[in-house]
Amino acid sequence: MKLSRESRGSRDGAGGTGEKAAQAPAAAEGAVSPDKSQRRIIAERFLRHKLAVVGMAVLLVLSVCSFGAGLIAPYPRNAQNILLGPVPPSSAHWLGTDELGRDYLSEVLYAGQVSLAVGLCVAVLSTAIGTVVGAVAGFAGGWAEEVIMRVTDLFLIVPAIAVLALALEALGPSPVTIVLVLTGLGWTVIARVVRSQVLSLREKEFVEAARVIGASRTRIVLRHLLPNLVGVIAVNVSLAVAAAIILESTLSFLGFGVQPPQSSWGNMLTQAAGMIGTSKGYLLYAPGAAILLTVLAVNFVGDGLRDAFDPQGRK
Number of domains in the chain: 1
Q: Record the pTM.
A: 0.76
CA distance between the termini of the chain: 59
- Which residues, including other chains, have CB under 8 Å from residue 94's CB and lie 6 or more apart? 74, 105
Residue 13 within any structural domain of the chain? no
Distances (CA, A) of 256 to 116, 150, 189, 238, 285: 18, 29, 24, 25, 22
- The residue range of the domain holding 151 is 41-309
Look at residues 118, 183, 125 and name the one whose alpha carbon lies nearest to residue 155.
Answer: 183
pLDDT (tens place) for every residue of the chain, 315 residues total: 444 444 444 444 444 444 444 444 444 444 434 446 777 888 888 888 899 999 999 999 999 999 999 899 899 888 888 888 788 888 888 888 888 888 999 999 999 998 899 889 998 899 999 988 888 888 877 788 888 888 888 887 877 777 777 877 777 777 888 888 888 888 888 888 888 888 888 778 887 788 888 877 778 877 777 777 887 888 888 888 888 888 888 877 777 777 777 888 888 888 887 777 777 888 888 888 999 999 899 889 888 888 887 655 554
Residue 162 within any structural domain of the chain? yes
pLDDT at 5: 47
Beta bridge partners of 103: 97
Residue 211 within any structural domain of the chain? yes
Residue 14 within any structural domain of the chain? no
Q: What CATH number has the domain bearing residue 105?
A: 1.10.3720.10
Residue 12 within any structural domain of the chain? no
pLDDT at 162: 77
Characterize 64-97 residue by residue with b for buried, 16 or more Cβ atoms within 10 angstroms of its Cβ, and e for exposed.
Answer: ebbbebeeebebebeeeeeeeebbeeeeebebbb
Look at residues 123, 109, 102 and name the one whose alpha carbon lies nearest to residue 287.
Answer: 109
Residue 189 within any structural domain of the chain? yes
Residue 87 within any structural domain of the chain? yes
Rounded to whole angstroms, the Cα distance separating 181 from 239 reads 18
Residue 29 within any structural domain of the chain? no
